[in-house]
Amino acid sequence: MTFDYSDILDDTADRSPDRVGLLAGDWKITYAEIQSAADTLAATLYARGVRPGDRVALCLGNQPEWVFVFFALCRLRASAVMLPSAWRAAEIRHAFELTGPRAIVASRTVAPIFDEVARPELAVVAGPGDAIDGWSEIADLLSEVAPAVPAGVRGLDPGDMELALPFSSGTTGMPKAVRHTHHSLVVATRQWRESLDITREDRLQALTPLAHILGIVNIGATFIGEATIRLFPRFTPRSMVESFQQDRITIGMTVAPIAAALAAMPDLEEFDLSSLRYLNWSATPVNRDIAQQVSDRIGVSWLPAYGTTEVPIVAVNPVSSLPHGRLDSVGLPPSAVDVETIDVVSHEFLPRGSTGEIVVRSPARMEGYLPEGDSPFLDGGWYRTGDIGHVEPEGWVVVTDRVKDIIRVSGTQVSPVEVERVLVSSPLVADCAVFGVPDERRGERPAAAVVVADGVDTSAEEIITWMADRLAPYKQLRDVYFVEEIPRTPSGKIQRRHLVGQLSAGAEK
């Protein structure tokens, strides 16, 4: 196996040039057209000074240009600094200080932020609109005729060369850049395609930002499988379900907020969703009540999966287990991946079935962080995920919590996820997040931020009373705060640190 990420596109484009690889709005883009755009951009970026080993910041939404530029950088043996398009000045400044990009390709909506913060000499803007002083147009780069990239560039062995720098979720501070190589991402992408059983008959729908690690492997797995993927610049539940029907989507990629939006759609049953093979649930443990509501209404099964930015594919439920897949487990590790648990204090390995911190050893693991800091790896190459759970004797992985999110009440550990699963089932609650707050007598006590269900008039006391007979006394809520929304990462993970900061600034209680 070669470890050149460019081959993921080129192998399929050479075999099936006229097959549609991307859907974006009314645009149907074939593999030959994607390949041509990547070749052209590689040539024009090289002509403007981008060289092997350079870093180029990508700050685009879910649009075809993101894919074109990413594969152009693959060809140049440069790497992509993957900036979420929702980031603002402080986050972008931090990312630039960490990575030092040679160039930037950005959407028009965020270009002014780069002018304010740190615009490199080579700055390219994507999308229609008026010219911006100092910025080149990606449309011009795509129409230019430039000399081909020297053969010696593509001839470089890319296996251990840096390819992408996505960012960690930043729940414990400013985000870290996660260094991935051609080797790690080719392995991860092949694991994802095999785990999801993607074939040329499939059509995927990906709402996760392309700047997220899941965005890369979704695109790559689609291309390896000669399938088609629908890109969404903006998400609404209705546009997603309409696409399920109109595009005859076979695999829907979701995270927790999307699953909840499906369950809440009053007319979900009115759509023809017979093309769906399954819905994938990634990033957070499955909320079984929400998943079951959707399955009961439209007859589609769920395929849970689990990965991290640092190790993209840790476990996936086998497609062969559907329609009776497990909602209480994130699945089995793919080939060549080992998953175990360790004691959170001593770091000693625990017997199968024992609850501890989940560790994983995989050929798809990252090279490391920027800034480097303490190594997240144990001897033997085991990556500490920071997640709590256990591994069953047969290898099934169960994730229950985050190490740093555990609430310690009078010396007893309380899982915020467990409390959230109960709380979100209340008819009073649309969304919620549970966390610990200091308590002089108990050390900590459970508290919750709650988004009230539409049309409901309730109080903290009513919610606390509703919860009282549904959990053990030490797990029961003591405080409830009302908020308009729960802050989450693009992958759907609750940003508890950000939430506590918001509440400390003042929220209705």
The tens digit of pLDDT for each residue in 111-128 reads 999 998 889 999 999 988
Sign (positive/negative) of CA torsion 462, 466, 472, 476?
negative
pLDDT in tens, 383-397: 999 899 999 999 999
Establish whether domains 31-180 and 235-403 are of one fold: yes
Strand partners, 482: 450, 508
CA separation for the pair 111, 55 (Å, rounded) = 18
Point out which residues pair with 62 in neighbouring strands: none
The type of residue at 230 is R
pLDDT digits (tens, 9 = 90+) for 310-324: 999 999 999 999 998
C-alpha distances (whole Å) from 71 to each of 37, 150, 365, 392 are 9, 16, 21, 39
pLDDT band at 172 (very low <50, low <70, confident <90, very high): very low
The residue extents of the domains of the chain are 31-180, 235-403, 406-504
Question: Distance of alpha carbon 375 from its chain centroid, rounded?
Answer: 23
- The rounded distance, in Å, linking the Cα atoms of 374 and 181 is 20
Residues 414-460 pLDDT 10s = 878 888 988 998 999 999 999 988 887 777 899 999 999 999 999 99
pTM of the model: 0.84
CA–CA dist 467, 509 (Å, integer): 17
pLDDT-derived band at 171, boundaries 50, 70, 90: very low
* Alpha carbon separation from 54 to 214, 233, 283, 443 (Å, rounded): 23, 28, 30, 49
Contacts of 112 (CB under 8 A, 6+ apart): none
- CATH code of the region 406-504: 3.30.300.30
Q: Assess if CATH 3.40.50.980 describes domain 31-180.
A: yes
Helix (H, G, I), strand (E, B) or coil at 163: strand
Q: What is the pLDDT of residues 280-296, one digit of tens each?
A: 998 777 888 889 999 99
Q: Cα separation of 299 and 301, whole Å?
A: 7
Tell me if 487 sits within 8 A of 493, measured CB to CB: no
pLDDT tier at 35, thresholds 50, 70, 90: very high
φ and ψ at residue 2, rounded to 5 degrees: -90, 155
Cα distances (angstroms) measured from residue 287 to each of 82, 208, 248, 314, 414: 29, 19, 26, 19, 18
Return the SS3 of 347.
Answer: coil
CATH superfamily of 235-403: ANL, N-terminal domain (3.40.50.12780)
- pLDDT for 500: 80
| Helix, strand, coil percent values for the chain (each to nearest 5) | 30, 25, 40
Is 80 exceeded by the pLDDT of residue 16?
yes
Q: Looking up tokens 């990629």, which residue turns up?
A: 253
103 within 8 A of 54, measured Cβ to Cβ? yes
